[in-house]
Amino acid sequence: MENKQVAGSIICVGLGMTLGSHISPLSRSYVEEADIVFVLASDGIVEQWVSEMNTDVRSLQSYYREGESRLDTYKQMIDAMLNEVIQGHKVVGAFYGHPGVFACVPHRAIAQANQLGYYARMEPGISAEDCLYADLNIDPGEFGCAHYETSQFMFYKRNIESSAYLILWQVGIAGDTSLTKFSTGQRYRQVLVELLEEEYGLAHQVILYEAPTLPIHAPRIERFALSSLVEAQINQQTTLVIPPSKEMIKNEEVFRKLSELDEKQRFLKVV
């Protein structure tokens, strides 16, 4: 359905990862000018900070319940926001990090609002991925990076390119087939380790990373052998970073074709 000029709108903005320092001026203005702000933040301090920018801020965190399917939780969040849009309000969904990265609620809310004819869009924020590159001094263009949600990586057969970085998100709920757990645990991580062992070996060094949420905090950066992952302290926001274990293999056939093209170009210039 084409976007109609009807009352009510929803803008999903990114708050960034670190309190106060990552939000863009445009996202801040959306929060300040909204009729209602729904916020899903990394902790209560961030929610309190958002509340200082608008008089009607409502937390989405309370929708999470142990034992309840996250699919049901996400639907409840979307319904709560869209009900206010339908009432004609200017709604903002303020999400920690980037609202489009490992966050299905903003995507689905925007899609449903558009289908109903309401104005809806997304405004980016600094994500945990952005912080990871800076804090670990990784250039994703040097060797390449493959990013997966950990459970999805486990559930489906993937071709691991071990000459590039492998970054696994939400490792704290690795292997959760029920979509109801806040964490899984060591036995589930053992399955992940066995999967990774086939390509990397247990002695390969991996990194646990957590982006800081407050300016006074430092990032969590812990390096150890893959074999130690099972006993490691894993939180909901923990990310597993696996550096390359092999060198990139030069594609000689492609280089040959490109050299032939270069030679033809030089010949044409001479002629």
**60-75 burial by CB neighbour count: b if 16+ within 10 A, else e?**
beebeeeeeebeebbe
Which are the contacts of 33, defined by CB distance < 8 A and separation ≥ 6?
A: 90
What is the per-residue pLDDT for 3?
47
CA distance 145 to 134: 14
Tokens of 166: 């492998």
Amino acid at 53: M
Angle made by CA atoms 75, 98, 60, in degrees to the nearest 5: 35
- DSSP assignment of the chain: -PPP--S-EEEEEE-BSSTTTS--HHHHHHHHH-SEEEEE-SSHHHHHHHHTT-S-EEESGGG--TTS-HHHHHHHHHHHHHHHHHTT-EEEEEESB-TTSS-HHHHHHHHHHHHTT-EEEEE----HHHHHHHHTT--HHHH-EEEEEHHHHHHS-----TTSEEEEE-GGGTT-SSS--S---HHHHHHHHHHHHHHH-TTSEEEEEE--SSTTPPPEEEEEEGGGTTTS---TT-EEEE---SPPPP-HHHHHHHHHHHHHHHHHHH-
Whether the per-residue pLDDT at 1 is higher than 70: the answer is no
Whole-number percent of the chain with pLDDT over 90: 83
107-163 pLDDT, tens digit each: 999 999 999 999 999 999 999 999 999 999 999 999 999 999 999 999 999 999 999
Q: Distances in Å between the alpha carbon of 8 and those of 37, 48, 58, 81, 166?
A: 13, 25, 17, 11, 42
Instruction: Tell me the per-residue pLDDT of 74-108, one tens digit each, with 9 for 90 and over.
Output: 999 999 999 999 999 999 999 999 999 999 999 99
Helices 104-115 + 70-86 axis angle, to 10: 40
Question: Which residues belong to the active site?
Answer: 70, 74, 96
pLDDT score for 65: 87
Residue 271 has pLDDT above 80, yes or no: no
> CA torsion, points 175, 180, 183, 185, in degrees to nearest 10?
-50
Q: What is the pTM of this model?
A: 0.89
State the pLDDT confidence band at 66, using cuts at 50, 70 and 90: confident
Confidence check: pLDDT of 2 > 50 = no
Compute the Cα dihedral for 46, 49, 53, 58 and give only its sign.
Answer: positive
Q: How far apart are the first and last CA of the chain?
A: 57
**How much is the pLDDT for 20?**
86
Per-residue pLDDT, 5: 53
Band of the pLDDT at 270, cuts 50, 70, 90? low
